Structure 1
């Protein structure tokens, strides 16, 4: 009977060690979910409190012209605004586990409002995220092929500059150049009977407005991650073996840089959802951003909280996926 070589764990020991590692990762993921759920609950409490501090309320903001003070008082009672904000917050939170996000100040079910707009926002943010990933990888890899070269300095400087520009400024510039001056693309989004953009061309400008700043941020992350990998022993050995630079980059540097890239892209997903509020308003895009901006104008706290919950859940899921990608090499080594 052949025994395992000295110093090499037996297959059963490796299996048990891998199982313990996976269990630790699951426990850590559970703790992360609990911490982020607590953070989201605190954020929702701040949302209810912050809207309460704004001038006016949902009853006055959505009132018809000519309504009397008695009408407004009755409307406040119907909306529950005559109750303390803490009671309203706790009542709203009790319905959250069942998916009940409450009713808007206009009498619409918030779950229906959010579920109708979320696919449009997901399409816009997903398109921008995919474009960001592709462009950041291409630009970061091109810059890493010739460190400290002209292209490297140009890409690094340009990525820093575009990242510093807010999305609404980029959106305004794109409308000015690609719509008003050239007429190439529509400046506003028109919807069809299903509530989605009536033409794919109406998605281009909003997606570019979200993509450009985040491409700058992620290009810097890709470039920095590749620079770290370039100092790894196996990469230096590949260079000494005379492999072409592009092969060293693709086969030896890029795989090790992917966990950092995944973390940067996951962070961008939250920024993209936040930037969508301004961008969707500028382009009249029918997504969560438009609902949120209208809800803020109407002081409609349950709608603002509902959008916040959905965005927080999506961001948490993406961050957990990025953590899993980052931890996969460690699981493989064990």
Structure 2
């Protein structure tokens, strides 16, 4: 038993568990990519037909299908794409562009959008959750709970429409659409405000409740009750005793929001004409362009997996309950 408790053994055990978790997520990502290929296959039409020009003959269309490899079995196309993936090759789009080059500019823009939204969500969620936890059962706590629930229940496209109506059409404070500069990025930082808010509002509602619930669980632990009996101020108990123990649950909630932020970005980027992978994905679905769709999925999935791995590291590094 003593050997199992040694630091080296604990580190090896933790590393093994994280490695197994990472392998499972990698397998889930492969399964998701297989579903993407199959889903595009069952949609009406194909990439060759979507890219066809008026007046093309059936022979021209058949030649394009052959050039794109659409005459090969689905499993063979998927296996070929997966085989090239470890080398960084995401395939070629239906219009002959390398998918890696096609995503080179939109992906950083999306990472800026979702990264900013993630940071703002984390700060607001901690502030609101701690504010409510510092006043348990009081009107402020109840109001934060109700508002958080309502915010999370509203979809991103509804939030976007309200923001466009209020901040652009009624007041004219912010531009309604994103205009890109010569480098492919938004021409002004103000064009990020509404897309970021559209992502932040629902996710802050969810994570504020996660923070509040995690702090409430910690409030029932013996060391927190002992701190109350010792007469410590509420804000010190919250910051020194409740919050450290709540970190694993908070980190997990925020990591889960990463996937939701990427999902919401597809809608938000399209509505605000933001130059990110959401706009590319919408066009690729219309064009039945499987390599582009799979490229977007693998990029987003890799980022989400890394954030989830970081949350796993936090959860194993920080004890859930302080002794």
Taking structure 2 as the reference length, what is the TM-score of the superposition? 0.96
Alpha carbons 1:59, 1:76 under 8 Å: kept = yes
5 Å-filtered alignment, 1:281-320, equals 281-320=270-309
Distance 2:292 2:318 in 1: 41
Query: Residue 157 in 1 paired to residue 143 in 2?
Result: no
- The counterpart of 1:95, out of the listed 75, 79, 84, is 84
Q: Residue 27 of structure 2 aligns with which residue?
A: 38
Is residue 148–residue 206 contact of structure 2 (8 Å, CA) maintained in 1? yes
Q: Secondary structure at the match of 2:6?
A: helix
Structure 1 gaps of 5+ residues are: 1-8
Aligned residues: 322
Is 1:139 the equivalent of 2:132? no
Q: What's the secondary structure of 2:104's corresponding residue?
A: helix
Tell me how far apart the structure 2 counterparts of residues 298 and 204 of structure 1 sit (CA, whole Å): 30
Secondary structure, counterpart of 1:64 in structure 2: coil
**TM-score, with length taken from structure 1:** 0.93
The answer to whether the 8 A contact 1:288-1:307 is kept is yes
In the alignment, what sits opposite 1:112?
101
Q: Which residue of 2 aligns with 1:179?
A: 168
Post-superposition CA distance 1:43-62 (Å, at most 9, x none): 11111111010011001111
Contact 1:18 1:331 in 2 (8 A): no
SS in 1 for 2:266: helix
Of the three residues 220, 226, 229, the one matched with 1:237 is 226
Aligned runs of 1:48-63 on 2, under 5 Å?
A: 48-63=37-52
Alignment of 1:133-282 (within 5 A): 133-282=122-271
Query: Is residue 60 of structure 2 the alignment partner of residue 71 of structure 1?
Result: yes
What do the CA deviations read for 1:14-63 (whole angstroms, capped 9, x no partner)?
A: 9x711111111111111112111111111111111110100110011111
Task: Find the aligned partners of 1:69 and 1:305 in 2 and give their Cα distance.
Answer: 28
Match of residue 127 from structure 1: 116
1:25 corresponds to 2:14: yes
